[in-house]
Structure 1
């Protein structure tokens, strides 16, 4: 039987593959926003996903999850007309920004849902 780590890796792989499926990102080339939204929505549905994606990117850059995200985002960066010498930099920036921002948004939404209606911003 697989341990918790192996199950999280498999679940992360499935969630990312589903979010970045060909159908999900089938918009016109250069639609980085659409790819980001696919990941944002997946992380919103699965709040545990952001730290798992980040961990896999950091600890195993050759993992299928990292490769899938890099290839999907990289194709969009290329389609935007970014110069070939900047593909890696642009893709890397997005690779780190998207899960981080999505994780923050998911955490804020979870926190907000636990507040009573009418709670002011300061509270």
Structure 2
């Protein structure tokens, strides 16, 4: 048997789904830097060459892994009976996915044109249509929600590195809150006012509140229109 035939045989024993699932395990356990074709081949007990029959490169694999996580996060949201509730569930599904898999946030922030982002936009857009938003305003309404979600992704993209550096989120927020509280009251009345809320706030609740503000604005504009 030739080397090419042996490589093809190993490739045939694999599937793209198996490769993506193995990549997700590596990403979750050891982070994005640990995902190499050599590590992936070792995990799957195959040769690196066999992987290339299914996946072109690491970036393609990251996009596929991200899409699988996002697709799972959006699945339940589509069953919600009311469009506003469906959008809330969709947004929180993505939030929880990024919280559980910080590398997903990094990937979403890195490439806004990948299919996982398109999947989120489609999920939001269908519900915006169901809300009765006039067609000329649907794009702006849906992308406002999408931009808010991707803003979270960008924020969470820094978490893996922060964790590796031993940064304690609570300690950082307490330190920032203390600095805010010392600002000049005449120049920064609002920031001083909310300083006490910063250290103890819940990211998930704050995120959902932001989604609700956007939805309220969409509803109001729809009524006015």
Quickly name the TM-score band, shorter chain normalised.
Answer: 0.7 to 0.9
Q: CA deviation at 1:11?
A: 0.5
Q: Which runs of 5+ in 1 are unaligned?
A: none
Alignment root-mean-square deviation, CA: 3.0
Q: CA deviation at 1:120?
A: 7.1
How many Å separate the matches in 1 of 2:109 and 2:69?
14
Equivalent of 2:149 in 98, 101, 105: 98
TM-score with structure 1 setting the length: 0.75
Structure number with larger C-alpha Rg: 2
TM-score with structure 2 setting the length: 0.44
How many Å separate the matches in 2 of 1:15 and 1:36?
13
How many Å separate the matches in 2 of 1:52 and 1:101?
12
Point out which structure has higher relative CO (alpha carbons under 8 A, 6+ apart). 1
Q: Verify the 8 A CA contact 1:73 1:91 in the aligned structure 2.
A: yes
Please give the residue correspondences for 1:25-44 in structure 2 after superposition, counting only pairs within 5 Å.
25-27=78-80, 28-31=82-85, 32-44=87-99
Length, aligned pairs only: 118
Q: Which runs of 5+ in 2 are unaligned?
A: 1-51, 177-225
Q: CA deviation at 1:89?
A: 0.7
Please give the residue correspondences for 1:69-108 in structure 2 after superposition, counting only pairs within 5 Å.
69-104=120-155, 107=158
Q: 2:100 matched to which residue of 1?
A: 45
Q: Which has the higher helix share?
A: 2
Partner SS state of residue 84, structure 2 = coil
Q: Verify the 8 A CA contact 1:74 1:91 in the aligned structure 2.
A: yes
